[in-house]
Amino acid sequence: MMNMNWKTLAVAATATIFAGEALATEVTTWNVSLWGKRRAFTEHVERLAELLDEKTKGEFKLNISYGGLSKNKENLDGISIGAFEMAQFCAGYHRDKNPTITVLELPFLGVNTLEEEVAVANAVYAHPAVQADLARWNAKLLMTSPMPQYNLVGTGEPRDTLAKFKGMRVRATGGVGQAFKAVGAVPTSVTATEAYNAMESGVVDTVAFAQHAHFAFRTIDIADWWTENLNPGTVNCPVVVNTDAYNDLSAENRAALDGSTEEAVQYYVDNYKKLLAKWDTVLAEKGVKKITIAESELAEFRKVAADPIRDKWIADMTAQGLPAQELYDLVMATLADMRK
């Protein structure tokens, strides 16, 4: 009888060990490809990782990498082949790969707040043509990375008129780069991580970024001035997931993911507002002069850049068989609804 008890206990212990191993294999870990370093631009992804860990009791984890998995301009390619399950990218890095979402990068759209940026991005991401566009890369749009309007930092004499923009070498991508080109500047699309060296070495005269990027990539450290009201537009940088990986999630993990994105983006917005609140202090500490562009110059900039670039974008995208006018109208209608 004693031997039987020991055998029973041994079998039970072995079953417990195997059960524990089975449970351990049920943990889902996704690799996430970002770049640079942790900053305001990535806080929604960091918060998403926390929420998933909490909601699934550790059974769904995000392994976030800052540049260790892919170059930032190759993140969409990595998603398409399943090299990692989640990634962030900016539409302006490869406009031909994601033409539909470049509507959000058109200059002078008139988006004034981070909340408006979230609303127009969500509306565009939900459009069937946009989802089909990204599906070509086996990518599912998950959430946006809302950024305020871009502004310039530079060294030497401030570039405070359109005449001074002529010949100016500026780090700017997407529609912002096109806007500067329209007034005679020379845009270059060096990546965010290359911007400091490009500015320091004189490859570019100025860099166009949102505030967090001037801070995170240290362009503000070597700047003499910053344009506080140029506001030519911004870039759109979605977080996407590999569609196959998303479909392979358990129902519980998928629900946790889908149910956490809104809270993660709100956390991002709240955190970014804290950065904006201390921006003037940062400028003062670093001795960077705030430059105000005259309204007459801004009006001329909009006249030269806004309508012609928008009209060309609509014509080009329509020629590709995309519902360009519909997407642009969707952005305008969403802004109007937000302001009612």
Q: Is the pLDDT of residue 11 over 50?
A: no
Q: Is the pLDDT of residue 98 over 80?
A: yes
Look at residue 267 and tell me if it is in a domain: yes
β-pair type (289-291, 139-143): unpaired
Q: Is the pLDDT of residue 250 over 70?
A: yes
**Who has greater pLDDT, 193 or 42?**
42
- Residues 82, 95 within the same domain: yes
Q: Is the pLDDT of residue 243 over 80?
A: yes
Q: What is the pLDDT, as a whole number, of residue 5? A: 53
Q: Which two tokens stand for residue 264?
A: 């993660």
Q: Which two tokens stand for residue 303?
A: 């006249």
Give the residue from 208, 243, 241, 237 showing the smallest Cα distance to 223.
208
- Residues 226, 306 within the same domain: yes
Residue range 152-184, pLDDT digits in tens: 999 999 999 999 999 999 999 888 999 999 999
Look at residue 114 and tell me if it is in a domain: yes
Structural domain of 165: 151-234+288-338
Read off the pTM: 0.86
Distances (CA, A) of 156 to 21, 206, 283, 288: 63, 10, 16, 11
- Residues 229, 135 within the same domain: no
- Residues 54, 140 within the same domain: yes
- Residues 57, 116 within the same domain: yes
What percent of the chain is predicted at pLDDT more than 90? 86
- Residues 48, 120 within the same domain: yes
- Compute the distance between CA of residue 82 and CA of residue 242 in angstroms, rounded to an integer: 6
Q: Is the pLDDT of residue 3 over 80?
A: no
Look at residue 246 and tell me if it is in a domain: yes
Using CA atoms of 126, 127, 130, 131 in order, give the dihedral in degrees to the nearest 10: 60
Residue range 283-308, pLDDT digits in tens: 999 999 999 999 999 999 999 999 99
Q: What integer is the mean pLDDT of 247-274?
A: 97
- Residues 178, 117 within the same domain: no
Q: What integer is the mean pLDDT of 121-138?
A: 98
Q: What is the pLDDT, as a whole number, of residue 61? A: 98
Tell me the pLDDT band of 196, cut-offs 50, 70 and 90: very high
Q: What is the pLDDT, as a whole number, of residue 191? A: 86
Q: What is the pLDDT, as a whole number, of residue 1? A: 44
Q: Is the pLDDT of residue 74 over 90?
A: yes
**How many domains are there within the chain?**
2
Give the residue from 76, 112, 107 showing the smallest Cα distance to 91.
76
Q: Which long-range contacts (CB under 8 A, 24 or more apart) does 325-332 make?
A: 326/127, 326/129, 327/100, 327/103, 327/124, 327/127, 327/129, 327/130, 328/103, 328/106, 330/123, 330/124, 330/127, 331/103, 331/104, 331/109, 331/120, 331/123, 331/124
Q: Is the pLDDT of residue 132 over 90?
A: yes
Q: What integer is the mean pLDDT of 39-62?
A: 97
Q: What integer is the mean pLDDT of 11-25?
A: 50
Q: Is the pLDDT of residue 333 over 80?
A: yes
Q: Is the pLDDT of residue 58 over 50?
A: yes
Q: Is the pLDDT of residue 7 over 70?
A: no
CB 223 within 8 A of CB 80: no
Q: What integer is the mean pLDDT of 236-263?
A: 98
Look at residue 157 and tell me if it is in a domain: yes
- Residues 254, 292 within the same domain: no
Please enumerate in sequence order all residues whose Cβ is within 8 A of that of 25, keeping only pairs 6 or more positions apart, or say none.
none
